[in-house]
Amino acid sequence: MTRIIVIGNGMVGYKFCEKLLAASSHGDFQITVFGEEPWPAYDRVHLSTYFSGSKVDDLSMAPRTWYQENGIELRTNELIVAIDREQKKVISHSGTARHYDKLVLATGSAAFVPPIRGVEKKGVFVYRTIEDLDAIMAFGKTARSAAVIGGGLLGLEAAKAVMDMGLDTHVIEFTPKLMPRQLDEAGSAILKSKLEDLGISIHLSKNTTTIHGNGKLTGLEFADGSDLSVDMLVISAGIKPRDELAKTCGLSTAPRGGIIVNESLQTEDDPDIFAIGEAASCQNMIYGLVAPGYEMASQVVNQLCGKASKPFLGFDMSTKLKLLGVDVASFGDPFGETESTKAIVYENKNSGIYKRINVSKDGKRLLGGLLVGDATAYGMLLQMTQNQLPLPPKPEDLILGNRDGQATEGAGFKSLPAEVQICSCENVTKGDICQLIENEGLGSLDEIKSCCKAGTGCGGCVPMVNDLLKHQLKALGKQVKNNLCEHFDYSRQELMDLVKIKDIRSYDELIDQFGKGDGCEICKPAVASILASTWNELITRQDTIQDTNDRYLANIQKGGTYSVVPRIPGGEITPEKLIVIGQVAKKYGLYTKVTGGQRIDMFGARVDQLPDIWEELIDAGFESGHAYGKSLRTVKSCVGSTWCRYGVQDAVSFAIQVEERYRGLRSPHKLKGAVSGCIRECAEAQSKDFGLIATEKGWNLYVCGNGGSKPQHAQLLVNDVDRETVLKYIDRFLMFYIRTAEPLNRTATWLNKLEGGVDYLRDVVVNDTLGIGETLEKEMEFMIQTYACEWKEVVNNPQLRAKFKHFVNDDGGDPSVAFQEMRGQKIPASW
């Protein structure tokens, strides 16, 4: 029996044990694992979820019982202090000694702490372990603001944790851009803008020299002479390999840290000692991602078990992450540095999306790229890069998508060879997954995760695994279940039916009866939308499952303030109401702007001011414009036949009627409408979710258009119908969309995925082939009859009104909010 000792019980150390058990027979190895933390191995990749409710058990890779059941001696809370290479034994701080035949160093890394004066002060933390997080959470209860040193992956994860604690958050980065190793300047600028929109202050090109305070942190001083007052500091500026134990026993380490290993992952000085994960330096490279560590573990296991192994000569560092709700991905050669390339770039600063792909000079191969704000194409782009798949005739389609309104779901999977690696963490190929689906009958993502571990590491491959599953099931002629998330084994449509049939009125009631666990950021807002679309009840009564904008009935803006957008149906407004808007904006010092949807937006309101502002607007006859909700925003209009010499119908009156009919209607995504008084289309009705264009005979109805990052023209549903008939068809169309669309799908995306397209939609809405037309109309009538202004409900309800304040224990506003002047109005101060 070979004695194996593993020093380090992190993710890579655990994965080594798991793979060794799977590859060997019982009794081949005697395994002992030493871990200096009190817990068994846990998931550091998703550590930030600890701040949003996850427990240690939720993050655990396996319980203690797993080690016992598999004959592994797990010694937690025990630090190895010496390795005796001559006698082949290790000694712990408690005096425990164990002999080994083979030793695996999986000691991982520690937080890198820059040499800053005052770093020992109270209120300064690193972000690395559960104990660190417990200390941060305990101290954070007494703080109002916090800074994070480090604008890389780790720093932004720490920033999310701080923000989840409700603290005023600052990110300090030494270089001129965020995520300097993963993003170019344009991608970093988009990410910076997205984070600032969340209320996070970003400080670039800042070198922290001193931490001020008399024993307790009070602020930071930078090399350029500027300073920042904060209550707490989290240092997350990178990692340093834990190689100190290796040094004490004479193992060679790299100049920049890390235990030097050869291509077999054996240490340079001792073939019986291996190093894997972040502690290992392979060809002067330290790998800070989990996937390379897992691959190292696999190769060492293969050697120990006498199986074929391949040399570890490096690892692809492509990665996809969600940082503070923002998708960020890089793959292949993201900066176009390895060979001559041509970059194709799409940038939309308004929607916060940046995409860059690097194409070979001959235009035949995809070499790499960057994605910020929308990383849905990451999986296929990565496969095209790694497997040198041919580019389409128009390579820009890879980031812009097909622009002919056709669905592309599942496209490209047939072209991928079976040996393509889908999950890099667990080295799972397309062929492996397809074989499980075809031969083992697996039909869910959870089953695939359980069987081959795909998607259980960093999680970046999960969307592609899920898409491959659906594609393969469809190819086999099987029904595809489109579950909302891991907490509900139902689709959005099925949950909506359950809510209605079972008369369910709350999220807790739904998850108790038909779900599992505590829910997540996917299912909570989706269920909130379902409940609102079904019962039309005030959403603030279930504020904890809402997104921030819905929770406060206002859009959070750059700098942490909110905007107020009263409804102005059809864009028509009286002079008296205009005066009131001006008076309110002047009284509360709000920035005002006429929007593209024919409304007036007022920016810069503190959360505690919102009910007072709403009260004054309501007294003047205004109501909520729902600019914050997944609901009807505006129905834009031209002046129509009232003023225009070309107008053939009264567009303004009809736009007001339509907007007041559907105001407050909650849906899977925001809705926009328009009414044009003639075919000159001044209201841009063909770019809206539903649009009406006047004709001499009545109205043409267009549906499922949208602007945004992927604009799409609306399609003609019916032409030359009267007002009453066209409203009936809009009723049916909107309720059918609400019933059947996936969460966060615009009507354009929904139509693209709808089998049969606009012809099928016309059959349902106009021809009533399903016989549900009357039911859909009744459901819409219920929504119309039960409408209530959400602002007014809050204003008149003291309990709801009390929720609108920045600090739980203080009625004052946020003292850190700052403005500057531009063209006679205020804007958020530059950060």
Q: What is the pLDDT of residues 256-298, one digit of tens each?
A: 899 999 999 999 999 999 999 999 999 889 998 888 999 999 9
Strand ranges for 302-446 from DSSP E:
319-323, 326-332, 341-348, 353-360, 366-372, 421-423, 428-429
Q: Give 689 or 646, the one with higher predicted confidence.
A: 689
Inter-residue contact 126 to 157 (CB < 8 Å): no
**What percent of the chain stands above pLDDT 70?**
96
Q: 123 pLDDT exceeds 80? A: yes
What's the whole-number average pLDDT of the chain? Answer: 89
d(CA 23, CA 427) in angstroms, rounded, equals: 15
* pLDDT tens by residue, 228-243: 999 999 999 888 999 9
Q: Give 152 or 421, the one with higher predicted confidence.
A: 152
Q: 12 pLDDT exceeds 50? A: yes
Q: Rounded mean pLDDT of 7-16?
A: 95
* pLDDT tens by residue, 518-538: 888 788 888 988 998 899 888
**How many residues are listed for the chain in this entry?**
831
* pLDDT tens by residue, 691-741: 999 999 999 999 999 876 667 889 999 999 999 999 999 999 999 999 999
What pLDDT is attached to residue 831?
46
What pLDDT is attached to residue 4?
97
Strand ranges for 56-186 from DSSP E:
73-75, 80-84, 89-92, 97-99, 102-105, 109-111, 124-126, 145-149, 168-172
Q: 302 pLDDT exceeds 90? A: yes
d(CA 382, CA 268) in angstroms, rounded, equals: 34
d(CA 169, CA 232) in angstroms, rounded, equals: 10
What pLDDT is attached to residue 601?
92
If one counts every other C-beta atom within 10 angstroms of the C-beta of residue 179, the result is: 24
Coil, helix or strand at residue 45: coil
Q: Give 361 or 773, the one with higher predicted confidence.
A: 773
The two tokens of residue 772 are 């549900």
d(CA 99, CA 88) in angstroms, rounded, equals: 6
Amino acid at 651: A
For the residues of 268-336, what is the DSSP string, one character each?
Answer: TTEEEEEE-GGGEEETTB---SHHHHHHHHHHHHHHHTT------------EEEEETTEEEEEEESTTS
If one counts every other C-beta atom within 10 angstroms of the C-beta of residue 519, the result is: 21
> What's the Cα-to-Cα distance from 649 to each of 658, 677, 689, rounded to whole Å?
14, 5, 21
Q: What is the distance of C-alpha 700 from the center of its chain?
A: 39
Q: Rounded mean pLDDT of 618-639?
A: 93
Tokens 């009625």, residue located: 811
In this prediction, residue 804 has a pLDDT band, given cuts at 50, 70 and 90, of: confident
What pLDDT is attached to residue 412?
57
DSSP 8-state code for residue 810: B
Question: Bridge-partner residues for 82, per DSSP?
Answer: 91
> What's the Cα-to-Cα distance from 464 to each of 411, 448, 461, 642, rounded to whole Å?
12, 12, 5, 53
In this prediction, residue 410 has a pLDDT band, given cuts at 50, 70 and 90, of: very low
- pLDDT-wise least confident of 141-155, 317-331, 361-375, 437-451: 317-331
Nearest in space to 627 (alpha carbons), one of 600, 590, 588:
600
What pLDDT is attached to residue 27?
82
Q: Rounded mean pLDDT of 199-219?
A: 94
- pLDDT-wise least confident of 188-202, 246-260, 412-426, 462-476: 412-426
The two tokens of residue 431 are 């062929």
What pLDDT is attached to residue 392?
81
What pLDDT is attached to residue 405?
44
Inter-residue contact 669 to 631 (CB < 8 Å): no
* pLDDT tens by residue, 552-591: 888 877 677 888 999 999 888 899 999 999 999 999 999 8
d(CA 608, CA 720) in angstroms, rounded, equals: 49
Inter-residue contact 313 to 263 (CB < 8 Å): yes
* pLDDT tens by residue, 377-407: 888 888 888 878 788 888 888 888 655 544 4
Q: Rounded mean pLDDT of 753-762?
A: 88
In this prediction, residue 411 has a pLDDT band, given cuts at 50, 70 and 90, of: very low
d(CA 639, CA 644) in angstroms, rounded, equals: 6
**What percent of the chain stands above pLDDT 90?**
55
What pLDDT is attached to residue 362?
83
What pLDDT is attached to residue 819?
80
Helices (H), 741-829: 747-753, 757-765, 773-785, 790-795, 798-801
pTM of the model: 0.58
d(CA 780, CA 721) in angstroms, rounded, equals: 20
The two tokens of residue 597 are 């949807």
What pLDDT is attached to residue 458?
67
Burial 322-341 (b: 16+ CB within 10 A, else e): ebbebbbbbbbbbbbeeeeb
Q: 541 pLDDT exceeds 80? A: no
What pLDDT is attached to residue 474?
81
* pLDDT tens by residue, 146-185: 999 999 888 888 898 888 888 999 999 999 999 988 899 9
Inter-residue contact 758 to 767 (CB < 8 Å): no
> What's the Cα-to-Cα distance from 69 to each of 10, 21, 24, 26, 73, rounded to whole Å?
19, 11, 15, 12, 10
d(CA 760, CA 762) in angstroms, rounded, equals: 5
d(CA 742, CA 669) in angstroms, rounded, equals: 9
Inter-residue contact 104 to 7 (CB < 8 Å): yes
